[in-house]
Amino acid sequence: MSFRDEPLQTTYLSRALLPAALAASLVACSEEAPPPSGGIGPRPPMPEIAAQTGAQRLTVAQYGNAIRDLFGEDINVPTSIEPDAPLDGFVTLGSSVSTISSRGVERYEKAAFAIAEQVVSDPARKASVLPCAPAGTNDLDCAKKFAASLGRRVYRRPLAAAEVDRLGGLLVQAATTLGSFDKGIEFALAAMLQSPNFLYRPQVGEPDPKNPDKRRYTSLEMASKLSFFLWNSIPDEELLAAAEAGKLTEDEGLSEQVVRMIESPRAREGLRAFVTDWLHLGDLDALSKDPTVFTYYSPEVGPAAREETLRVFEHFVFDLDADYRDVFLTRTTFVNPKLASMYAVPAPTDEGFGKVDFPADSPRIGLLGHISILALHSHPRSTSATLRGKFVREDLLCDGIPPPPVNVNTGLPDASTEARTLRERIAQHNTDPTCRACHTLMDPIGLGLENFDGIGRFRLKETDAVIDPSGNLDGVAFANARELALRVHDSDKVAPCFVRKLYSYATAFEPTKEETAAINTLTYDFRAAGHRVKSLLSFIATSPGFRLAHKP
């Protein structure tokens, strides 16, 4: 059986819990089995180590997703709330260390009342959250039923009796004062949506009854960890019910939910959230280019370019269940008419996005040929071999680049008769000892993409001089962007870097040195599974690092 023929679902759960064909494929990943094709060696043991423990504030996207899951897709979600604060490029990591400012408190309050007003003013929405018919403005019994029913979804856990009493009392107090049970609902709902129980995801854990020396996340904590990792939103009713039944601390119950969630259409939104974070695609909303230099540029380019990249990843992960590395070599992409004109290919549809395949002799190939990557890692008026090379180094290969020295001159000479191409202008980086060490890690990579201008359109010349797109990656030469894409695809750093990025995203913390062994084992299993992302999602979600907790 080929690893490409049969994707793995999990390595860390009992094989007796898996379908027969799937269990058979796990043999290839066992420590006793011979190495899979490709000679990746014996499987290192998975250490019983916990990732860091803490509380994560909902990101702006998670906040919006949660509100829509609670009250309907068509509800108007205020976006002027506490902004995200990225850490190591990930807003999810930033959410683990960021606090809420006094201005942010005001914004959450305003947003909460705006949402509550929409819920109460719409009879269908109100009926979906109110499980009883109030007998009057002071119907405390109905108020408590409302608090317990909706609070369970909002807080992602059953409410304690004291919480139900407090919210029910608040509802009745506001209803009596304002003469309307609906107004009471508004105040009680707004209180829930401002609560840290909604805005944060506390993760404390509990002693593991089977291993008193270790702590594990509770079943309810696991529900939130899974849903925000795989769906970027709150648990659905089935996941919440499984959590309440204690099933998510057991192998069988966890396996069942992980498989269900990865196969759910909602997993596409979870993947989109990760890719957006990892590749910094959110920055495309603020993409700015000089239209006098790049005449094809318009404000729609950034959002359209992001959608193209996200659709390609969706296609590879969910439609094809393909080798992740092939995203660097694919000729398939998804474009709208604007992008089609920039790529100089026929538009597949008059509006919206459609699938296209670049011809075999096209100089453009894979992720590094996307406008999203090329435009984002360029300057407003020019390309940047340094920014593009830095992206490949840090985000695709996980190589660290030291910050530039203080007061270093980062400017480059303008194009002239002596230095007409970027290659000639950045030659100073190789002569200046304060620049050379870092720039030799970045510039030879970025120069391979010089046939694409600052918004990603193909060109052969710069200021009438023929562009030389050759370079090298870790000492291996390439002649052009197509060969660069192949070097990245074949790099031994690509798989462990991707695993590290996804693991970090899943746990919402930068991995510690102690977690390196866990990432190494996950990387082994990822490779053995044919570099399938769906398999890796399952590996991470069922790994000790995702399930075990540090003592708070």
pLDDT cut 90: percent of the chain above it:
79
Query: How much is the pLDDT for 39?
Result: 52
Query: How much is the pLDDT for 171?
Result: 98
pLDDT band of residue 98 (cuts 50, 70, 90) is confident
pLDDT band of residue 410 (cuts 50, 70, 90) is low
Q: Please give the model's pTM, rounded to 2 decimal places.
A: 0.90
Residue 445 has pLDDT above 50, yes or no: yes
Q: List helix spans (H) across 34-160.
A: 60-71, 91-94, 102-121, 123-129, 140-155
- Indicate left, alpha or beta for 332 from its phi (over 0: left) and psi (-120 to 50: alpha): beta
Return the higher-pLDDT residue of 140 and 36.
Answer: 140
Which of 52-56, 173-177, 281-285, 482-486 has the least mean pLDDT?
52-56
Which among 17-26, 94-103, 370-379 has the top mean pLDDT? 370-379
Query: How much is the pLDDT for 13?
Result: 43
Q: For tokens 């720039």, what's the residue?
A: 439
Query: How much is the pLDDT for 3?
Result: 27
Residue 12 has pLDDT above 50, yes or no: no
Query: In angstroms, rounded to a whole number, what is the distance separating the alpha carbons of residues 300 and 308?
Result: 12
| Alpha carbon separation from 260 to 236, 315, 323, 497 (Å, rounded) | 12, 19, 21, 27
Q: Are 506 and 541 in contact (CB under 8 A)?
A: yes
pLDDT one-digit tens code per residue, 447-506: 999 999 999 999 999 988 999 999 999 999 999 999 999 999 999 999 999 999 999 999
179's CB contacts (< 8 A; 6+ apart) are: 137
Query: How much is the pLDDT for 340?
Result: 98
pLDDT one-digit tens code per residue, 381-402: 999 999 999 999 999 999 988 8
pLDDT one-digit tens code per residue, 242-298: 999 999 999 999 999 999 999 999 999 999 999 999 999 999 999 999 999 999 999
Query: In angstroms, rounded to a whole number, what is the distance separating the alpha carbons of residues 102 and 394?
Result: 34
pLDDT cut 70: percent of the chain above it:
88
Residue 188 has pLDDT above 60, yes or no: yes
pLDDT band of residue 115 (cuts 50, 70, 90) is very high
Query: How much is the pLDDT for 439?
Result: 80
Other Cβ atoms closer than 10 A to 525: 24
Q: Compute the average pLDDT of residues 50-77.
A: 94
Query: In angstroms, rounded to a whole number, what is the distance separating the alpha carbons of residues 94 and 280?
Result: 14
The secondary element (H helix, E strand) that includes residue 552 is none
Query: How much is the pLDDT for 211?
Result: 86
What DSSP string describes 494-535? HHHHHHHHHHHHHHTSPPPGGGHHHHHHHHHHHHHTTSBHHH
Per the structure block, which two tokens stand in for 311? Answer: 């659709």
Residue 7 has pLDDT above 70, yes or no: no
Query: In angstroms, rounded to a whole number, what is the distance separating the alpha carbons of residues 73 and 232?
Result: 15
Query: How much is the pLDDT for 274?
Result: 98
pLDDT band of residue 37 (cuts 50, 70, 90) is very low
Q: Compute the average pLDDT of residues 34-60.
A: 79
Query: How much is the pLDDT for 414?
Result: 56
Which among 39-53, 82-96, 157-171, 432-446 has the top mean pLDDT? 157-171
pLDDT band of residue 438 (cuts 50, 70, 90) is confident
Per-residue H/E/C for 124-151: HHHHHHCCCCCCCCCCHHHHHHHHHHHH
> What are the φ/ψ torsions at residue 8 (nearest 5 degrees)?
-80, 150
Beta-bridge partner residues of 355: 334
pLDDT band of residue 424 (cuts 50, 70, 90) is confident
Q: For tokens 């010349």, what's the residue?
A: 461
pLDDT band of residue 413 (cuts 50, 70, 90) is low
Query: In angstroms, rounded to a whole number, what is the distance separating the alpha carbons of residues 143 and 185?
Result: 8
Provide the CB-side half-sphere exposure for 408 (13 A, CA): 15
> What are the φ/ψ torsions at residue 357 (nearest 5 degrees)?
-125, 120
Query: How much is the pLDDT for 412?
Result: 55
Q: Compute the average pLDDT of residues 175-203.
A: 97
Query: How much is the pLDDT for 31?
Result: 35
Query: How much is the pLDDT for 407?
Result: 60
Query: How much is the pLDDT for 223?
Result: 98
Q: Compute the average pLDDT of residues 408-419.
A: 56
pLDDT band of residue 428 (cuts 50, 70, 90) is low
Query: How much is the pLDDT for 136?
Result: 95
Which among 27-36, 203-212, 316-325 has the top mean pLDDT? 316-325
Q: Compute the average pLDDT of residues 332-359.
A: 97
